[in-house]
Structure 1
Protein backbone atom coordinates (compact mmCIF):
# COMPACT_ATOMS: atom_id res chain seq x y z
CA UNK A 1 0.00 0.00 0.00
CA UNK A 2 1.34 3.40 -0.89
CA UNK A 3 2.09 6.14 1.60
CA UNK A 4 -0.65 8.49 0.39
CA UNK A 5 -3.39 5.90 0.88
CA UNK A 6 -2.24 5.12 4.42
CA UNK A 7 -2.52 8.79 5.30
CA UNK A 8 -6.01 9.53 4.10
CA UNK A 9 -8.49 10.73 6.69
CA UNK A 10 -9.02 8.13 9.40
CA UNK A 11 -12.27 6.46 10.39
CA UNK A 12 -12.63 4.99 13.86
CA UNK A 13 -15.48 2.79 15.04
CA UNK A 14 -15.53 3.49 18.77
CA UNK A 15 -18.56 1.46 19.83
CA UNK A 16 -17.94 -1.23 22.44
CA UNK A 17 -17.53 -4.85 21.45
CA UNK A 18 -20.85 -6.57 20.69
CA UNK A 19 -22.46 -3.47 19.23
CA UNK A 20 -22.13 -4.55 15.61
CA UNK A 21 -18.52 -3.54 15.12
CA UNK A 22 -17.73 -6.56 12.93
CA UNK A 23 -20.67 -5.65 10.70
CA UNK A 24 -19.31 -2.12 10.41
CA UNK A 25 -15.90 -3.59 9.57
CA UNK A 26 -17.58 -5.52 6.73
CA UNK A 27 -18.97 -2.22 5.45
CA UNK A 28 -15.45 -0.75 5.53
CA UNK A 29 -14.24 -3.72 3.48
CA UNK A 30 -17.05 -3.25 0.97
CA UNK A 31 -15.80 0.29 0.36
CA UNK A 32 -12.18 -0.87 0.05
CA UNK A 33 -10.85 0.94 3.09
CA UNK A 34 -7.56 -0.43 4.33
CA UNK A 35 -8.20 -1.92 7.76
CA UNK A 36 -6.05 -1.96 10.86
CA UNK A 37 -5.05 -5.42 12.04
CA UNK A 38 -7.33 -6.18 14.98
CA UNK A 39 -4.84 -8.50 16.72
CA UNK A 40 -2.21 -5.76 16.68
CA UNK A 41 -4.66 -3.39 18.33
CA UNK A 42 -5.80 -5.86 20.96
CA UNK A 43 -2.22 -6.51 22.00
CA UNK A 44 -1.84 -2.81 22.87
CA UNK A 45 -4.27 -3.11 25.79
CA UNK A 46 -1.47 -2.60 28.33
CA UNK A 47 -0.35 0.58 26.57
CA UNK A 48 -3.93 1.84 26.76
CA UNK A 49 -4.16 0.92 30.44
CA UNK A 50 -1.04 2.97 31.16
CA UNK A 51 -2.52 5.79 29.02
CA UNK A 52 0.53 5.55 26.78
CA UNK A 53 -0.88 6.12 23.31
CA UNK A 54 2.36 6.28 21.29
CA UNK A 55 2.10 2.72 19.92
CA UNK A 56 -1.63 3.14 19.28
CA UNK A 57 -1.01 6.29 17.25
CA UNK A 58 1.72 4.47 15.35
CA UNK A 59 -0.72 1.67 14.53
CA UNK A 60 -3.19 4.25 13.24
CA UNK A 61 -0.69 5.21 10.54
CA UNK A 62 -0.82 1.71 9.01
CA UNK A 63 -4.39 1.88 7.64
CA UNK A 64 -7.51 3.99 7.13
CA UNK A 65 -10.21 2.37 9.27
CA UNK A 66 -10.12 0.80 12.73
CA UNK A 67 -12.53 -0.84 15.18
CA UNK A 68 -12.65 -2.71 18.50
CA UNK A 69 -9.89 -2.66 21.16
CA UNK A 70 -8.18 -0.28 21.83
CA UNK A 71 -10.18 2.14 19.66
CA UNK A 72 -13.43 1.32 21.45
CA UNK A 73 -12.03 2.01 24.91
CA UNK A 74 -12.51 5.11 27.08
CA UNK A 75 -10.07 7.98 26.49
CA UNK A 76 -8.79 6.64 23.16
CA UNK A 77 -11.22 8.59 20.99
CA UNK A 78 -10.20 11.92 22.54
CA UNK A 79 -6.51 11.25 21.82
CA UNK A 80 -7.30 10.15 18.26
CA UNK A 81 -9.35 13.28 17.69
CA UNK A 82 -6.41 15.45 18.70
CA UNK A 83 -3.88 13.50 16.63
CA UNK A 84 -6.08 13.16 13.55
CA UNK A 85 -8.21 16.32 13.40
CA UNK A 86 -9.92 15.29 10.15
CA UNK A 87 -10.90 11.85 11.44
CA UNK A 88 -14.49 10.64 11.62
CA UNK A 89 -15.90 8.57 14.49
CA UNK A 90 -18.69 6.01 14.54
CA UNK A 91 -20.36 5.08 17.82
CA UNK A 92 -22.26 1.83 17.39
CA UNK A 93 -24.94 1.06 19.98
CA UNK A 94 -27.50 -1.63 20.78
CA UNK A 95 -31.25 -1.23 21.27
CA UNK A 96 -30.72 -1.03 25.03
CA UNK A 97 -28.18 -1.78 27.75
CA UNK A 98 -29.63 -5.16 28.67
CA UNK A 99 -29.33 -6.34 25.08
CA UNK A 100 -25.66 -5.36 25.01
CA UNK A 101 -24.96 -7.10 28.33
CA UNK A 102 -26.64 -10.32 27.20
CA UNK A 103 -24.75 -10.31 23.91
CA UNK A 104 -21.40 -9.72 25.60
CA UNK A 105 -21.83 -12.37 28.29
CA UNK A 106 -23.23 -14.93 25.85
CA UNK A 107 -20.29 -14.38 23.52
CA UNK A 108 -17.69 -14.60 26.28
CA UNK A 109 -19.38 -17.69 27.71
CA UNK A 110 -19.02 -19.44 24.35
CA UNK A 111 -15.38 -18.36 24.09
CA UNK A 112 -14.15 -18.95 27.61
CA UNK A 113 -16.93 -20.28 29.83
CA UNK A 114 -19.31 -23.21 29.87
CA UNK A 115 -21.50 -21.88 27.08
CA UNK A 116 -24.28 -20.96 29.52
CA UNK A 117 -23.02 -18.74 32.33
CA UNK A 118 -20.57 -15.82 32.14
CA UNK A 119 -16.97 -16.99 32.65
CA UNK A 120 -15.53 -17.12 36.13
CA UNK A 121 -12.25 -15.48 37.06
CA UNK A 122 -10.54 -18.87 36.92
CA UNK A 123 -11.91 -19.58 33.44
CA UNK A 124 -10.66 -16.18 32.28
CA UNK A 125 -7.22 -16.92 33.71
CA UNK A 126 -7.11 -20.25 31.86
CA UNK A 127 -8.42 -18.90 28.55
CA UNK A 128 -5.85 -18.92 25.77
CA UNK A 129 -6.73 -15.92 23.60
CA UNK A 130 -3.58 -14.25 22.22
CA UNK A 131 -1.90 -15.76 25.29
CA UNK A 132 -3.01 -17.47 28.47
CA UNK A 133 -4.49 -14.93 30.85
CA UNK A 134 -5.17 -12.20 28.28
CA UNK A 135 -8.95 -12.44 28.82
CA UNK A 136 -8.43 -12.11 32.58
CA UNK A 137 -6.17 -9.08 32.21
CA UNK A 138 -8.63 -7.29 29.93
CA UNK A 139 -11.53 -7.97 32.27
CA UNK A 140 -9.58 -6.54 35.20
CA UNK A 141 -8.43 -3.48 33.22
CA UNK A 142 -11.85 -2.59 31.86
CA UNK A 143 -14.41 -3.45 34.50
CA UNK A 144 -14.35 -2.48 38.14
CA UNK A 145 -16.07 -5.72 39.11
CA UNK A 146 -15.42 -8.04 42.09
CA UNK A 147 -13.10 -11.00 41.49
CA UNK A 148 -15.93 -13.36 42.38
CA UNK A 149 -18.36 -11.60 40.01
CA UNK A 150 -16.34 -10.46 36.97
CA UNK A 151 -19.46 -9.88 34.85
CA UNK A 152 -21.54 -8.06 37.45
CA UNK A 153 -24.53 -6.83 35.47
CA UNK A 154 -25.04 -3.47 37.15
CA UNK A 155 -21.38 -2.52 36.82
CA UNK A 156 -21.09 -3.59 33.17
CA UNK A 157 -24.28 -1.83 32.17
CA UNK A 158 -23.00 1.31 33.83
CA UNK A 159 -19.75 0.91 31.86
CA UNK A 160 -21.71 0.66 28.61
CA UNK A 161 -23.91 3.64 29.40
CA UNK A 162 -21.01 5.78 30.60
CA UNK A 163 -19.00 5.06 27.46
CA UNK A 164 -21.81 6.09 25.14
CA UNK A 165 -22.66 9.19 27.16
CA UNK A 166 -19.03 10.28 27.40
CA UNK A 167 -18.47 9.89 23.66
CA UNK A 168 -21.53 11.97 22.83
CA UNK A 169 -20.58 14.60 25.37
CA UNK A 170 -17.03 14.82 24.01
CA UNK A 171 -18.28 15.43 20.46
CA UNK A 172 -21.14 17.70 21.52
CA UNK A 173 -19.47 20.80 20.04
CA UNK A 174 -18.43 19.05 16.81
CA UNK A 175 -21.34 16.76 15.88
CA UNK A 176 -20.20 16.56 12.25
CA UNK A 177 -17.36 14.27 13.37
CA UNK A 178 -19.55 11.67 15.11
CA UNK A 179 -22.22 9.30 13.83
CA UNK A 180 -24.25 7.21 16.28
CA UNK A 181 -25.77 4.14 14.65
CA UNK A 182 -27.52 0.90 15.44
CA UNK A 183 -26.81 -1.81 12.85
CA UNK A 184 -30.19 -3.42 13.54
CA UNK A 185 -31.89 -0.32 12.08
CA UNK A 186 -32.18 -0.62 8.31
CA UNK A 187 -31.94 3.10 7.55
CA UNK A 188 -28.76 3.48 9.61
CA UNK A 189 -26.85 1.76 6.81
CA UNK A 190 -27.69 4.64 4.47
CA UNK A 191 -26.84 7.13 7.22
CA UNK A 192 -23.42 5.50 7.54
CA UNK A 193 -22.87 5.64 3.78
CA UNK A 194 -23.74 9.34 3.78
CA UNK A 195 -21.36 9.92 6.68
CA UNK A 196 -18.60 8.22 4.68
CA UNK A 197 -19.60 9.97 1.45
CA UNK A 198 -20.18 6.61 -0.23
CA UNK A 199 -22.94 5.29 -2.48
CA UNK A 200 -24.83 2.46 -0.72
CA UNK A 201 -24.09 -1.01 -2.04
CA UNK A 202 -26.93 -2.74 -0.16
CA UNK A 203 -30.35 -1.98 1.25
CA UNK A 204 -29.12 -2.53 4.78
CA UNK A 205 -26.06 -3.71 6.67
CA UNK A 206 -24.25 -6.84 5.45
CA UNK A 207 -24.35 -8.85 8.69
CA UNK A 208 -21.15 -10.33 10.06
CA UNK A 209 -20.57 -12.30 13.27
CA UNK A 210 -24.19 -12.01 14.37
CA UNK A 211 -24.69 -13.76 17.70
CA UNK A 212 -27.46 -12.05 19.68
Structure 2
Protein backbone atom coordinates (compact mmCIF):
# COMPACT_ATOMS: atom_id res chain seq x y z
CA UNK A 1 0.00 0.00 0.00
CA UNK A 2 1.31 3.44 -0.95
CA UNK A 3 0.59 6.37 1.34
CA UNK A 4 0.70 9.87 -0.08
CA UNK A 5 2.25 12.41 2.20
CA UNK A 6 0.13 15.50 2.74
CA UNK A 7 1.77 18.53 1.17
CA UNK A 8 2.46 21.17 3.82
CA UNK A 9 0.83 24.47 2.94
CA UNK A 10 2.49 27.78 3.67
CA UNK A 11 0.75 29.77 6.35
CA UNK A 12 -1.26 32.62 4.83
CA UNK A 13 -2.80 35.61 6.59
CA UNK A 14 -5.40 37.85 4.98
CA UNK A 15 -4.80 41.30 6.45
CA UNK A 16 -7.45 43.16 4.46
CA UNK A 17 -10.31 44.76 6.33
CA UNK A 18 -13.76 43.22 6.58
CA UNK A 19 -15.93 43.97 3.52
CA UNK A 20 -13.00 43.67 1.11
CA UNK A 21 -13.84 40.21 -0.18
CA UNK A 22 -12.41 38.21 2.71
CA UNK A 23 -15.24 35.66 2.68
CA UNK A 24 -14.72 35.05 -1.04
CA UNK A 25 -10.99 34.62 -0.45
CA UNK A 26 -11.66 32.15 2.36
CA UNK A 27 -13.74 30.01 0.00
CA UNK A 28 -10.97 29.90 -2.58
CA UNK A 29 -8.38 29.00 0.06
CA UNK A 30 -10.53 26.10 1.18
CA UNK A 31 -10.81 24.97 -2.44
CA UNK A 32 -7.01 25.00 -2.63
CA UNK A 33 -6.87 22.67 0.36
CA UNK A 34 -5.87 25.14 3.06
CA UNK A 35 -7.19 24.52 6.54
CA UNK A 36 -9.02 27.63 7.72
CA UNK A 37 -8.87 29.06 11.22
CA UNK A 38 -12.00 29.22 13.35
CA UNK A 39 -13.36 32.72 12.86
CA UNK A 40 -15.38 32.79 16.07
CA UNK A 41 -12.29 31.84 18.07
CA UNK A 42 -10.52 34.77 16.47
CA UNK A 43 -13.35 37.17 17.21
CA UNK A 44 -13.29 36.15 20.87
CA UNK A 45 -9.69 37.38 21.04
CA UNK A 46 -10.58 40.96 20.10
CA UNK A 47 -10.10 42.14 23.67
CA UNK A 48 -6.68 40.48 23.74
CA UNK A 49 -5.78 42.52 20.68
CA UNK A 50 -7.09 45.73 22.29
CA UNK A 51 -4.65 45.17 25.17
CA UNK A 52 -1.90 44.16 22.70
CA UNK A 53 -1.71 40.72 24.30
CA UNK A 54 -0.90 38.41 21.41
CA UNK A 55 -0.04 35.13 23.13
CA UNK A 56 -3.47 33.55 22.58
CA UNK A 57 -3.66 34.95 19.06
CA UNK A 58 -0.32 33.29 18.28
CA UNK A 59 -1.62 30.05 19.75
CA UNK A 60 -4.72 30.25 17.53
CA UNK A 61 -2.55 30.90 14.48
CA UNK A 62 -0.88 27.53 15.02
CA UNK A 63 -4.16 25.67 14.46
CA UNK A 64 -4.62 26.15 10.69
CA UNK A 65 -3.04 27.31 7.43
CA UNK A 66 -5.16 30.36 6.64
CA UNK A 67 -6.67 33.14 8.75
CA UNK A 68 -8.71 36.23 7.96
CA UNK A 69 -10.86 38.90 9.64
CA UNK A 70 -10.66 39.59 13.39
CA UNK A 71 -8.12 39.88 14.87
CA UNK A 72 -5.84 39.24 11.89
CA UNK A 73 -7.22 42.20 9.95
CA UNK A 74 -6.56 44.58 12.84
CA UNK A 75 -3.52 46.88 13.02
CA UNK A 76 -0.30 45.44 14.47
CA UNK A 77 -1.39 41.80 14.25
CA UNK A 78 0.32 41.19 10.92
CA UNK A 79 3.63 42.39 12.38
CA UNK A 80 3.38 39.85 15.20
CA UNK A 81 2.36 37.04 12.83
CA UNK A 82 5.26 37.88 10.55
CA UNK A 83 7.66 37.63 13.48
CA UNK A 84 6.35 34.37 14.94
CA UNK A 85 5.61 32.65 11.63
CA UNK A 86 8.52 33.39 9.29
CA UNK A 87 8.06 32.58 5.59
CA UNK A 88 4.32 33.13 5.87
CA UNK A 89 2.50 34.93 3.09
CA UNK A 90 0.15 37.88 3.49
CA UNK A 91 -2.77 39.02 1.36
CA UNK A 92 -4.10 42.57 1.55
CA UNK A 93 -7.62 42.53 0.12
CA UNK A 94 -8.83 45.95 -1.02
CA UNK A 95 -11.80 47.68 -2.64
CA UNK A 96 -11.66 50.11 -5.55
CA UNK A 97 -11.38 53.06 -3.17
CA UNK A 98 -12.00 54.08 0.43
CA UNK A 99 -15.45 55.50 -0.27
CA UNK A 100 -16.63 52.19 -1.71
CA UNK A 101 -15.40 50.35 1.39
CA UNK A 102 -16.96 52.85 3.80
CA UNK A 103 -20.34 52.67 2.08
CA UNK A 104 -20.21 48.87 1.97
CA UNK A 105 -19.39 48.53 5.68
CA UNK A 106 -22.02 51.05 6.73
CA UNK A 107 -24.77 49.49 4.62
CA UNK A 108 -23.81 45.96 5.65
CA UNK A 109 -24.10 46.77 9.34
CA UNK A 110 -27.35 48.66 8.78
CA UNK A 111 -28.90 45.70 6.96
CA UNK A 112 -27.78 43.31 9.67
CA UNK A 113 -28.74 45.29 12.75
CA UNK A 114 -30.63 48.44 11.71
CA UNK A 115 -33.24 49.70 9.27
CA UNK A 116 -31.18 48.81 6.20
CA UNK A 117 -30.93 52.44 5.13
CA UNK A 118 -29.28 54.64 7.75
CA UNK A 119 -26.01 54.26 9.68
CA UNK A 120 -26.47 52.53 13.00
CA UNK A 121 -27.05 54.58 16.12
CA UNK A 122 -25.27 53.92 19.40
CA UNK A 123 -28.38 52.17 20.75
CA UNK A 124 -28.68 49.91 17.69
CA UNK A 125 -25.01 48.99 17.84
CA UNK A 126 -25.18 48.27 21.57
CA UNK A 127 -28.13 45.95 20.92
CA UNK A 128 -26.50 44.16 17.97
CA UNK A 129 -25.79 40.47 18.70
CA UNK A 130 -22.21 39.62 19.56
CA UNK A 131 -20.05 37.50 21.81
CA UNK A 132 -21.16 39.70 24.72
CA UNK A 133 -23.67 42.59 25.06
CA UNK A 134 -22.23 45.70 23.44
CA UNK A 135 -19.44 43.83 21.64
CA UNK A 136 -20.14 45.38 18.23
CA UNK A 137 -20.09 48.85 19.75
CA UNK A 138 -16.81 48.15 21.53
CA UNK A 139 -15.18 47.01 18.28
CA UNK A 140 -16.25 50.12 16.37
CA UNK A 141 -15.01 52.39 19.16
CA UNK A 142 -11.69 50.57 19.51
CA UNK A 143 -10.93 50.60 15.77
CA UNK A 144 -12.24 53.99 14.69
CA UNK A 145 -11.79 57.38 16.33
CA UNK A 146 -15.51 58.18 16.19
CA UNK A 147 -18.01 59.83 18.50
CA UNK A 148 -21.20 58.21 19.79
CA UNK A 149 -23.40 60.53 17.73
CA UNK A 150 -21.60 59.69 14.45
CA UNK A 151 -20.25 56.14 14.72
CA UNK A 152 -19.91 55.71 10.94
CA UNK A 153 -18.34 59.06 10.14
CA UNK A 154 -17.31 58.80 6.51
CA UNK A 155 -14.15 60.86 6.83
CA UNK A 156 -12.89 58.83 9.78
CA UNK A 157 -13.66 55.48 8.15
CA UNK A 158 -12.06 56.48 4.85
CA UNK A 159 -8.94 57.63 6.66
CA UNK A 160 -8.80 54.36 8.61
CA UNK A 161 -9.07 52.31 5.42
CA UNK A 162 -6.34 54.28 3.67
CA UNK A 163 -4.03 54.32 6.67
CA UNK A 164 -4.37 50.59 7.27
CA UNK A 165 -3.62 49.73 3.65
CA UNK A 166 -0.69 52.15 3.49
CA UNK A 167 0.80 50.76 6.70
CA UNK A 168 0.65 47.19 5.39
CA UNK A 169 2.19 48.18 2.07
CA UNK A 170 4.97 50.11 3.78
CA UNK A 171 5.77 47.22 6.13
CA UNK A 172 6.25 44.83 3.21
CA UNK A 173 7.73 47.42 0.85
CA UNK A 174 11.05 45.60 0.46
CA UNK A 175 9.49 42.12 0.42
CA UNK A 176 7.17 42.09 -2.60
CA UNK A 177 7.10 38.29 -2.75
CA UNK A 178 5.51 38.08 0.71
CA UNK A 179 2.53 40.38 0.08
CA UNK A 180 -0.24 40.19 -2.50
CA UNK A 181 -2.48 43.23 -2.89
CA UNK A 182 -5.73 41.76 -4.15
CA UNK A 183 -8.90 43.38 -5.45
CA UNK A 184 -11.17 40.42 -6.10
CA UNK A 185 -13.44 42.47 -8.36
CA UNK A 186 -10.65 42.63 -10.96
CA UNK A 187 -10.96 40.07 -13.77
CA UNK A 188 -7.34 39.00 -13.20
CA UNK A 189 -7.62 38.63 -9.40
CA UNK A 190 -8.10 34.86 -9.29
CA UNK A 191 -5.08 34.19 -11.48
CA UNK A 192 -3.03 36.65 -9.42
CA UNK A 193 -3.92 34.65 -6.32
CA UNK A 194 -2.98 31.36 -7.98
CA UNK A 195 0.38 32.77 -9.07
CA UNK A 196 1.09 34.13 -5.59
CA UNK A 197 0.32 30.81 -3.92
CA UNK A 198 1.74 28.65 -6.71
CA UNK A 199 -1.63 26.95 -7.12
CA UNK A 200 -3.07 25.52 -10.31
CA UNK A 201 -6.10 27.57 -11.48
CA UNK A 202 -9.42 25.75 -11.30
CA UNK A 203 -11.39 28.55 -13.01
CA UNK A 204 -10.77 32.10 -14.20
CA UNK A 205 -12.52 34.48 -11.79
CA UNK A 206 -13.58 34.84 -8.17
CA UNK A 207 -17.05 34.05 -6.89
CA UNK A 208 -18.12 37.05 -4.79
CA UNK A 209 -19.49 35.86 -1.46
CA UNK A 210 -21.38 37.72 1.28
CA UNK A 211 -22.42 40.71 -0.85
CA UNK A 212 -24.24 43.42 1.06
CA UNK A 213 -26.87 43.53 -1.69
CA UNK A 214 -27.67 39.86 -1.08
CA UNK A 215 -28.78 40.48 2.51
CA UNK A 216 -32.53 40.77 2.80
CA UNK A 217 -34.29 42.65 5.57
The TM-score normalised by the length of structure 2 is 0.93
Structure 1 match to 2:144: 143
Structure 2 match to 1:55: 56
Structure 2: how far apart are the matches of 1:211 and 1:133? 23
Structure 1 match to 2:43: 42
Structure 2: how far apart are the matches of 1:5 and 1:57? 24
Q: Structure 1 residues 5 and 46, CA, compared in 2 at 3 Å: closer, same or farther?
A: farther
Indicate if the aligned counterparts of 1:6 and 1:64 stay in contact, CA closer than 8 A: no
- Residue segments in structure 1 that go unaligned for 5+ positions in a row: none
Q: How far does the alpha carbon of each residue in 1:90-142 deviate from its partner, in whole angstroms, 9 at most, with x for none?
A: 00000111100110000000112211111111111111122321101101111
* 1:131 counterpart SS class: coil
Structure 1 match to 2:102: 101
Indicate if the aligned counterparts of 1:45 and 1:69 stay in contact, CA closer than 8 A: yes
Structure 1 match to 2:193: 192
Deviation at 1:9, TM superposition (A): 2.5
Structure 2 match to 1:10: 11
Structure 2: how far apart are the matches of 1:6 and 1:76? 27
RMSD: 1.5
Within a 5 Å distance, the mapping from 1:173-188 to structure 2 comes to 173-188=174-189
Comparing 201-210 and 47-56, the one that deviates more: 201-210
Indicate if the aligned counterparts of 1:143 and 1:155 stay in contact, CA closer than 8 A: yes
In the comparison of the two structures, how many residue pairs are matched? 209
* 2:35 counterpart SS class: coil
- Residue segments in structure 2 that go unaligned for 5+ positions in a row: none
Whichever of the two has the greater Rg, that structure is 2
Comparing 200-209 and 79-88, the one that deviates more: 200-209
The TM-score normalised by the length of structure 1 is 0.95
Indicate if the aligned counterparts of 2:92 and 2:182 stay in contact, CA closer than 8 A: yes
Indicate if the aligned counterparts of 2:9 and 2:34 stay in contact, CA closer than 8 A: no
Structure 2 match to 1:125: 126
